[in-house]
Every structure is written in C-alpha cells, then in structure tokens.
C-alpha cells in the first residue's frame, strides 16, 4: 500500500509537474490521510475510517506562523515560488478554518511574493458549500477534479464517502463560471476484478461534453506517477495518448496541460 505522506505543514518548495516551483501547504495531519474520497490511485494510500482515528489538524494560527516563517526565509534567500499550493495528505477544503486560511495566505503572499499564485487542489466534493466556493473563487488557481462524467466510473475511481452524482458535480463545476481549472487523471487497470479505463470513446465523449458545459480556464490531464494502493493492477496511460486527448480538448477551445 502506498503511503506517501507529507510530514510538515509547509513542504518544499518542490518542482511540480503541473505548477512549476511550488511551495506546498498541508492542512491535514502529518501521520495519516483525511479525505472524503478514497481514490484507487491515491499516492497517500487508502483513506482510513475517520470515525476510528483521532488526528490533529493544524490551527489557523499555526498555518499562518509556519507560512510566514517560510516565506520570510525564502525572501531572504531570494528564492521565489511560482505557486503556493494547498494540497497535502487528503482534501484541504475539509479543514474547518479553510476559508480564513485562504484569506491569510493571500495577505502573506502579497507581503512577500506578490507575483506568486495561490493554488488549491481539491476533489470537488465540497464545492456546493457556499463558504468553500467563495474561498476557492479568491485564489488564482482553483484546480478541481473531474475524473469522469459517468457515475459508475466516478464511483469506482473516487469512491466518495457520500454519494456523488456526476450530473450534480458537473453543474456545481459549471457554477464557477469558468474561474476554475479542471484536473483529470486517466488510467487503466483492474479493480476488484472489474476492468476500468476512463480513456474509452464513450468516456471521452461524455467528459468532453462536460468540459463544454463547465467552460474551464484550463484543463490539466495526467496519469499516475507514484505507487498506488492497488499496486500493479493500475496502469499509466502513455504520454502519447494523453497528448491525443489534449488535442481533442484544445479543438473545443480549452487550453490544456499534459503531465505524463
């Protein structure tokens, strides 16, 4: 089982496949993953039962102090981040002070590196909550997941702790009026004896139609890069095929970034 976990509030800066020089922020515990999804490809491993684990979440003030200290040190070293990224060990929007933390990060970004962007990587499961949506609309790169536009595929790939309806999810994404980036992970393999592949003609047709409704500012497509909970049962999609998918996205009018 994969257990790639971040062991601090602030990590990096690291060279990100999609974001350049990224300073990461983990709002979740350093010992375990907390998420409302249980994605079969997640590099952090399976999501444990949250009712059976007690974990410390960093407070808003702890996050502020850690980010302030790190950005101050980077300023002294003349090391500018391209992006300050909220990701970490699970779903960042689950932190109860998420909205306030975003406000704080904007203040600190403007103080130290006003040209840096702020990004949030989210699985999209909480975007129907008004406070979460409002916070996401404040950041420069609001990166939201849509792995498929078909219910059965979403259910297998993402395994939400509450029922996720693809139609509702697409409508919620469309509600951002284009101020969002869609991220989609493509893979093939076998899960619980079932063959899975979100690159089939039917999958891609439904996904492209969803993009036309959502009208994102950009689309990020990628594939697995580290170990997954399912191990060798899941396969990377070759970069050549990802590029072909990207060409189809660009033909319907959306800027696309590929990470193999």
Q: For residue 181, which of 148, 213, 214 has the smallest C-alpha distance?
A: 214
Q: pTM of this prediction?
A: 0.91
Range of the domain at 239: 10-259
Per-residue pLDDT at 200: 97
* β-bridge partners, 25: 10, 86
Q: For residue 158, which of 50, 33, 37 has the smallest C-alpha distance?
A: 37
pLDDT digits (tens, 9 = 90+) for 214-242: 999 999 999 987 666 555 688 899 999 99
Which residues lie below 8 Å from residue 16, measured CB to CB, with a gap of 6+? 22, 83, 85
Question: Per the domain annotation, does 120 fall within a domain?
Answer: yes
**Mean pLDDT value of segment 24-30:** 87
Question: Per the domain annotation, does 4 fall within a domain?
Answer: no
Question: Per the domain annotation, does 28 fall within a domain?
Answer: yes
What CATH number is attached to the domain comprising 93?
A: 3.20.20.70
**Residue 79 CA: distances (Å) to CA of 84, 112, 140, 246:** 13, 11, 20, 32
Question: Per the domain annotation, does 162 fall within a domain?
Answer: yes
Mean pLDDT across the chain: 89
Whole-number CA gyration radius for the chain: 18
Question: Per the domain annotation, does 2 fall within a domain?
Answer: no
Q: How many domains does the chain have?
A: 1
Question: Per the domain annotation, does 80 fall within a domain?
Answer: yes
Q: For residue 256, which of 212, 203, 227, 219 has the smallest C-alpha distance?
A: 219
Q: CA 249, CA 94: separation in Å to the nearest integer?
A: 31
Question: Per the domain annotation, does 3 fall within a domain?
Answer: no
Q: In the predicted model, is pLDDT for residue 56 greater than 50?
A: yes
DSSP secondary structure, 53-68, as one string: ---PPPPHHHHHHHHH
Q: In the predicted model, is pLDDT for residue 1 greater than 60?
A: no
Q: In the predicted model, is pLDDT for residue 189 greater than 80?
A: yes
DSSP secondary structure, 74-115, as one string: HHHTT---SEEEEESSB-GGGSTTHHHHHHHHHHHHHHH-TT
Rounded to 5°, angle at Cα 87 from 91 and 18: 130
Question: Per the domain annotation, does 1 fall within a domain?
Answer: no
């Amino acid at each position: 089982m994969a257990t790639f976990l971040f062991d601090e509030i602030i990590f990096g800066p690291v060279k990100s496949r999609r974001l350049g020089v990224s300073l990461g922020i983990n709002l979740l515990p350093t010992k375990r993953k907390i998420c409302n999804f249980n994605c079969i490809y997640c590099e952090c491993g399976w999501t444990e039962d949250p009712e059976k684990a007690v974990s410390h979440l960093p407070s808003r003030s702890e996050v502020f102090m850690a980010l302030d200290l790190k950005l101050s040190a980077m300023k002294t070293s003349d090391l500018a981040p391209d992006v300050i990224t909220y990701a970490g060990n699970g779903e960042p929007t689950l932190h109860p002070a998420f909205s306030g933390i975003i406000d704080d990060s904007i203040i600190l970004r403007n103080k130290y590196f006003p040209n840096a962007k702020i990004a949030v990587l989210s699985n999209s499961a909480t975007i129907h909550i008004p406070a979460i949506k409002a916070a996401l609309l404040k950041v420069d790169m609001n990166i939201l997941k849509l792995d498929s536009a078909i219910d059965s595929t979403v259910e297998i790939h993402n395994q939400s702790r509450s029922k996720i309806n693809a139609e509702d999810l697409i409508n919620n994404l469309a509600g951002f009026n284009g101020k969002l980036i869609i991220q989609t992970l493509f893979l093939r393999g076998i899960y619980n004896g079932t063959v899975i592949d979100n690159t089939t003609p039917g999958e891609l047709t439904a996904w492209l139609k969803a993009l036309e409704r959502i009208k994102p500012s950009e689309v990020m497509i990628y594939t697995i890069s580290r170990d997954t909970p399912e191990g060798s049962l899941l396969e990377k999609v070759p970069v050549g095929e990802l590029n072909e998918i990207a060409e189809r996205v660009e033909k319907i009018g959306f800027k696309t970034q590929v990470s193999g």
